[in-house]
Structure 1
Amino acid sequence: MTAVPDQVDTVAVQVRYFAGARAAAGVPEETVRLATPVTVSDVIAAVLDLHDEGLAKVLPACSFLLDGVAVRDRRAEVPAEATLDVLPPFAGG
């Protein structure tokens, strides 16, 4: 029998949705807690698990900001207490 750790390290990530992503998620923001290490892809997968197909349709077109910096690599590690902004394409002028 192998020992199971009493406590698993986790990271809380605040996810903020904007425009169409907010409408699809049905909430303006939420906090997800994931076991470390956490990548941007892990956070995206977690929010997809929390919501219906409406958000799944919007997310592929979205860009993301991690603590205010554009995410170019979804394998980027997410630090504890980070904020991930979900930004669908915007139109207008």
Structure 2
Amino acid sequence: MLDHTGRYRVRYEDMFRALGHYLDSQRFTRIAIVETPEGFLVKGYVAGDSREGGLHLAPQTYLFTNEDLDILLEQAYGRRRQSRPQH
């Protein structure tokens, strides 16, 4: 996967960490990820509270385009910059 300039490769570790943060925040479970030329296809279930008071799993499929992934990466880098100790 290339960065937003199209010249440099993005480390998969960084990309999966950013994507994983998003999926965790959206309460995804039972996840399958497939890399495509357009980005990553993510299939899984989103956990939500049911009317009966239990847990409900709704199937979801998303295509994260390379542009979407760039945004997730920039947000992740921003979170890391904020969490660095100040000297």
Length-normalised TM-score, structure 1: 0.28
TM-score (norm 2): 0.29
More strand by share: 2
Structure number, greater radius of gyration: 2
Higher helix share: 2
